[in-house]
Amino acid sequence: MSLDMTLVNELEKKLKYKFKSYDLLEEALTHPSADIVEKKDYQRLEFLGDEVVGLGVSHLLYKSFPNAEEGHLSKARSNLIDESGLSFNARNLDLGKMVILGRGEEKMDGRNKDSILSDTFESLMGVIYLESGWDEVFKIISDIYTPLIEASPDINDLLDHINRDYKTRLQEIAQELELPLPVYTLVERSGPEHSLVFTVECSAVGYSATGCGKNKKAAEQDAALKILQEMRVIN
């Protein structure tokens, strides 16, 4: 087994959940790049977990905003469970420390890639659903997402918060400070054609950060977000 049980115990405390199968948990944390003989990677669990998380968040939004239109509910759900949102949850659980990577991904800082972290979070929810059923996994999803939803009692506020265009915000700050506009540089384009990962570096207002995404635009947004977080403009 490739799991660090100290980290597993910490994860169980954060989730308030005891895993029944560490073999299944190991599968959920194994990236396709990992060269482990006769071991499965997380792709099937990610497929399941994607649906589990989506349904859980849909349920929470439906109950929280009884008068909201379908379009607003759908958009709020999409933003809450996009790559950025999912990887945020993964970081809060320190899943980056636990993911099992191949040497190539390890060298490319795969533990910090939003694409990998978001997949791992979904896989983890898939494991809990398989082990303990809907009620248990929904309790965990609720614990994670309810604070985010309750922070915005009006769904329009929630949409405004989630839909923030980080590139535009960073550009506005640069203009306000009369500094050069942000510069985005494509650093790397990696992975198979069906699952490309773009890495972009952003330099702006005296800061620099590297972002990743499934396309160049997403990577630029991620890099801009990290600078805004470093500046404490966004938590």
166-230 CATH? 3.30.160.20
Q: Which of 13, 29, 42 is nearest to 195 (CA)?
A: 42
Same fold, 5-162 and 166-230: no
5-162 CATH? 1.10.1520.10
* Residue owning tokens 């989506």: 54
Residue 70 is among the residues annotated as catalytic for this protein: no
Whole-number pLDDT of residue 151: 67
CB contact set of 98 (below 8 Å; sequence gap of 6+)? 3, 4, 7, 8, 11, 29, 120
How far is 218 from 224, CA to CA, in rounded Å? 10
Q: Sketch the domain layout of the chain as residue ranges.
A: 5-162, 166-230
Q: Which of 84, 83, 72 is nearest to 228 (CA)?
A: 84
Residue 122 is among the residues annotated as catalytic for this protein: yes
Instruction: Report residues of the chain scoring pLDDT below 50.
Output: 163
Strand partners, 212: 199
pLDDT in tens, 118-152: 999 999 999 999 999 999 999 999 999 988 787 66
Share of the chain above pLDDT 90, in %: 51
Two tokens at 220?
């630029």
User: Is 79 in contact with 94 (CB distance < 8 Å)?
Assistant: no
* Catalytic, out of 26, 105, 114, 122: 122
* Catalytic, out of 26, 50, 114, 220: 50
> Is this model's pTM higher than 0.85 or not?
no
